Chains A and B, each alone.
Chain A
Amino acid sequence: MQRIGVFVCWCGSNIAATVDVKAVAEAAKHEPGVVFSTDYQYMCSENGQAMIREAIKEHRLTGVVICSCSPRMHEATFRKTAVSAGLNPYMVEIANIREQCSWIHKDMAEGTEKAIILARAAIAKVHLNAPLVAGTSPVTKRALVIGGGIAGIQTALDIADAGFEVDIVEKAPTIGGRMAQLDKTFPTLDCSACILTPKMVDAAQHEKINIISYAELDSLSGFVGNFTAKIRKKARFIDETKCTGCGICTEKCPSRKGLNDFNMGLNTRGAVYIPFAQAIPNVAVIDSAQCIHFRTGKCGLCEKNCSAGAIKFDQKDEILEREYGAIVVATGFKPIDASAFNEYAYSDSPDVVTSLEFERIMNAAGPTKGKLVRPSDGKHPHEIVFIQCVGSRCTEDATKGKPYCSKICCMYTAKHAMLVREKYPDVKVHVFYIDARTPGKNFDEFYRRAVEQYDVDYIKGMVGKVSVEQDHLHVQGSDLINNEQIHINADMVVLATAIEPDPTARALGTMLTASMDTNDFFTEAHPKLRPVESPTAGVFLSGVAQGPKDIPETVAQAGAAAAKVIGLLCKNELTCNPCVAHANEALCNGCSQCERVCPYGAITYEDKEVRSPEFRGIKRIAVVNGAICQGCGACTVTCPSGAMDLKGFSNSQIMAEVDAICR
């Protein structure tokens, strides 16, 4: 029989305001096995912990139940308290009477009744707890960064500077990401490429950084400190070790009709191409769907003209198997598809462009060499309308847009407006906005400059319709301040489209078992206190993959994620979770169901001699690798014969809790 102590925390008024803590402590006293029960204002305080330590010694407690906040908050604290009093840490159970009780109830009687029931369940479980001992596992001192945009580059640089090896896996042929496509950056209006490309070069030249471009994560197994990744290096049909990036092949290629992704499809490129001048690696890539050689077997002009002999038409996808201790997700974003917004005529007129397209038009390396012209006829525009929140804060139609604020649009639209007015003072610029959101250092000053110095016409209100008329676009909107309908004949319309997570994020999240929100942004372990860690141990978040943010925030978060990775890779070994699954050999049928549901690949099979009343002889049974098992319990519920059980959360412990609740 266990000797159990129950400690009920008030959490100031957090619990005590809706739960009669004295009544809970009193009720617990009458539960079987409970030899001591008390309440205190803050159990997690030094005084509270001292009270627990003394009670363990004085009453020779073998089990402890703390009725307090969520175990996610203070389970570790109380386990350490128990250890310091000589008790096994796994003899501590938390009854969550705050998040699951006091915070969600208003009525004291109801709250108290529920808190007593939750305490009863925890007491019933402690009766079946057994001391557990944690093992250790080694740490592979290398990090994987998925995504080579500014977030990934900065994270990799910071980790590498601390002396650890980093691989950057980038799905595009070059690193650089979205920032490489930008013209200028707010709030300083410095050139994006001028500040990004030195970082790209730093990453390329860093002896600890290995850039694996044109590659994607194929599969991942293992656990924190010990991940094994299979990385698919897609065939670029160019020998990277030979290509000098001279670009002759890209000039000679006769197939010129491929849309240039880097310029948002505003112009075309050859089938063999280098995405942009400062690409890293500066190596060409062949688009096999477009290449004449791949379609007809003829041509081969690039091969004939390559003096380095780098063209390899027979190159195949290559799978690299690498081991990592930590993984950083920096998969970034893409603008949403604006064609869902028919009212803005995006599909009907080339003169309606998205902001990222506009960014390319304004860029000196873009399709117009930086000259602002109308895409339809190449003429100079005289009046431009910017529309904010296209698909952002779109709560009425979830299929069309996104419920969240994309955060960067207010600022980049102010930037665009200012750039246009600076370069072409003859162009009239109107901005339709719902709210101008400028919370950031020097952000509001920046926006006010657009309004006050550059005389940009900000109109509070939304555009109802853009219609294509002979040589202009008719924009019909409302001015909410003057309460009037506005009609503008514009030459161009620029849509500040919402941003969404990169489409590869969802599949990656499943592969990493890292949780995501309904918008496919990766979820942080705690929204305030652990913002760069995913709830999955060893997986960290950097940049827009976690939520919309601008470049300064992304770089700050990238550094924070790197700090967390460095903290992990510094350790030589990690303490394993002892709450792992194990198979009862007498009951196991070796049917393989558990192996199939195990997300960590922790289960294998052995032919083992078994002697039990039901079976004598050699049979196939499941064996769990305790270092890999994360204790998720998927196997225990899949096992038809009940052979699989989880230490610390056994079937009988859970049934005891249910029984205690239903009593």
Chain B
Amino acid sequence: MQEMIKERVLTLINEGAADRVLAWETGEFFYDRTPKFFDKNNVNDLKYDSFCGANVTKYLIAEMPKEGKTIVLVKPCDSYSLNQLCTEHRVNREKVYALGVGCRGKIDVEKLRTMGIKGITAITEEGDTLTVSTLYGEKKVARKDALLDKCLCCKGKEHKGVDEVIGDSEETSVGDKFEMVAKLEAMTPDERFEFWRGELSKCIRCNACRNVCPACSCIKCVFDNPKSGVDNKAAADDFEENMFHIIRAYHVAGRCTDCGECSRVCPQGIPLHLLNRKMIKDINELYGDYQAGAEIGQRHPLTDYTLSDDEPSVVHERGGANA
């Protein structure tokens, strides 16, 4: 598929339909896939394979003032982020050529490590089996056991609103994405508080979640703005530290496409996506099913009102919009 993509990108650039492409290159380790812009001279270094879990759409924002059109490679999940960025006028869709790329789920090397596989030197895949070469020999692993968590509750393999699609996709979703949220909801307030205190206390405020999040696209974040009244509080004591994540979840509520990048990039392994997913679950229950980024120009339920809207308390009392 990688070669087909390169060929198509070159054709598009040569035809004058676009000037550059936003995709992935190999990073420090063989499995690192880092977002990068290529032009026709270096497009040969473009990588697309089972390690390209990163969502690159956010990098388009900084590209907007530039002349010409940018091709962006989007997996089905990334297409939602692109649409949401266009809805919020952060990306001008007319300056983007969205090239959908097939996806059969992306591999999480961390997961292999937690299986006890150390000293990984190479990974090859054949069908549903991964062959992991290590310093200590070869290991076979079922591909589905090594997929990123976000792939296991994938929104589906349809690319939303892209200009064309290259390559085939395979369903990877295996479960109910709200399962863990429901578990948290079932806890007592004290248990839930303990759960989040435990998780969020690991935060080192590296800001990776904020920097990768396509919904966190503010030119100046409130946490960097001394006048906002929250910037220093977030560092003042250990609970204010937790507030960073709670405030962030509120800021992206209704806009989060559930791309799962926050949890994927967290070096401390905090399941940050659960905060967002709880918001999504609540929105679905209060106002009916809603998927941010399904199309450009959507009005998300929290910033939209219709004459038939019920009071949230009323909906809540009767147990959600679908009850």
- Footprint of B on A, CB under 8 Å? 506-507, 510-511, 586-587, 589-593, 596-597, 599, 605, 612, 614-615, 617-620, 638, 640-642, 651-652, 655
Contact = CB atoms under 8 A, between A and B. Distances in A.
A642 B228 contact: yes
Contact of B305 (A510, A587, A651, A652): A510
Interface in B203-251: 217-222, 225, 227-229, 251
Contact of B220 (A506, A587, A590, A591): A587
A617 B218 contact: no
25 contacts: A506-B307, A510-B309, A587-B218, A587-B220, A587-B225, A589-B88, A589-B89, A589-B219, A592-B87, A592-B89, A593-B303, A596-B303, A597-B303, A614-B219, A614-B220, A615-B219, A619-B219, A620-B89, A638-B303, A641-B219, A641-B221, A641-B225, A642-B222, A642-B225, A642-B227
B304 interface: yes
B137 to A, nearest CB: 50
Given A589-B90, A618-B65, 6 more contacts: A587-B218, A589-B88, A589-B89, A591-B90, A614-B219, A641-B225
User: Considering residues A592, A597, A614, A642, which has the most beta carbons from chain B within 10 angstroms of its beta carbon?
Assistant: A642
A613 to B, nearest CB: 8
B299 interface: yes
A587 B229 contact: no
B303 A590 contact: no
B120 to A, nearest CB: 39
Nearest to A645: B227
Contacts of A612: 220
Nearest to A638: B303
B188 interface: no
A511 B306 CA distance: 9
A14 B90 CA distance: 55
B308 interface: yes
Given A640-B251, A642-B225, A655-B229, A589 B303 contact: no
User: Considering residues B218, B251, B252, B307, which has the most beta carbons from chain A within 10 angstroms of its beta carbon?
Assistant: B218
A640 B217 CA distance: 9
Contacts of A593: 88, 303
Contacts of A587: 218-220, 225
A510 B307 contact: yes
Interface string B62-95: 0001000000000000000000000111100000
Contacts of B308: 507
Contact of B227 (A592, A605, A620, A652): A652
Given A592-B89, A652-B227, A641 B218 contact: yes
Interface in B282-307: 299, 303-305, 307
A640 to B, nearest CB: 4
Contacts of A507: 307-308
A394 B222 CA distance: 52
Given A597-B303, A617-B65, A638-B303, A592 B218 contact: no
B299 A589 contact: no
Contacts of B87: 592
User: Considering residues A586, A587, A597, A619, which has the most beta carbons from chain B within 10 angstroms of its beta carbon?
Assistant: A587
Interface string B301-323: 00111011100000000000000
> Which label, helix, strand, loop or mixed, suits the secondary structure of the A interface?
mixed
Contacts of A638: 303
Given A511-B307, A640-B251, A589 B217 contact: yes
A599 B308 CA distance: 15
B227 A641 contact: no
Contacts of A511: 307
A529 B60 CA distance: 58
> Which label, helix, strand, loop or mixed, suits the secondary structure of the B interface?
loop
A592 B65 contact: no
Contacts of A614: 219-220
Nearest to B92: A620
Contacts of B65: 617-618
B33 to A, nearest CB: 28
B298 to A, nearest CB: 10
A596 B304 contact: yes
B305 A591 contact: no
Contacts of B229: 651-652, 655
Contacts of B221: 641
Contacts of A615: 219
Interface string B7-43: 0000000000000000000000000000000000000
Nearest to A620: B89
Contacts of B227: 642, 652
A652 B89 CA distance: 28
Interface string B168-200: 000000000000000000000000000000000
Contacts of B88: 589, 591-593
B275 to A, nearest CB: 15
Nearest to B229: A655
Nearest to A641: B218
Nearest to A618: B65
User: Considering residues A599, A618, A640, which has the most beta carbons from chain B within 10 angstroms of its beta carbon?
Assistant: A640
B88 to A, nearest CB: 4
A432 B89 CA distance: 66
B236 to A, nearest CB: 13
Nearest to B216: A640
Contact of A641 (B220, B252, B305, B309): B220
Nearest to B251: A640
B308 to A, nearest CB: 7
B307 A589 contact: no
A589 B305 contact: no
A477 B124 CA distance: 86
Contacts of B251: 640
Contacts of B228: 642, 651
A280 to B, nearest CB: 29
A622 to B, nearest CB: 11
Given A592-B89, A620-B89, A651-B229, A586 B299 contact: no
B218 A596 contact: no
Contacts of A619: 219
Nearest to B230: A642
User: Considering residues B87, B220, B221, B229, which has the most beta carbons from chain A within 10 angstroms of its beta carbon?
Assistant: B220
A596 B307 CA distance: 14
Interface string B107-141: 00000000000000000000000000000000000
Contacts of A655: 229
Contacts of B89: 589-592, 605, 620
A620 B92 CA distance: 11
A638 B301 CA distance: 12
Contacts of B307: 506-507, 510-511
Contacts of A617: 65
B99 to A, nearest CB: 25
Nearest to A654: B229
A596 B220 contact: no
A473 B229 CA distance: 73
A640 B224 CA distance: 13
Contacts of A590: 89-90
A596 B298 CA distance: 11
A507 B306 CA distance: 9
Contacts of A506: 307
Contacts of B304: 596
Nearest to B248: A640
A280 B229 CA distance: 62
10 closest A-B pairs by CB:
A641-B218, A591-B88, A596-B303, A640-B251, A507-B307, A642-B228, A642-B222, A597-B303, A614-B220, A655-B229
A651 B230 CA distance: 11
Contacts of B219: 587, 589, 614-615, 619, 641
User: Considering residues B87, B217, B219, which has the most beta carbons from chain A within 10 angstroms of its beta carbon?
Assistant: B219
Nearest to B299: A596
Contacts of A592: 87-89
Contacts of B305: 510, 597, 599
Contacts of B299: 596
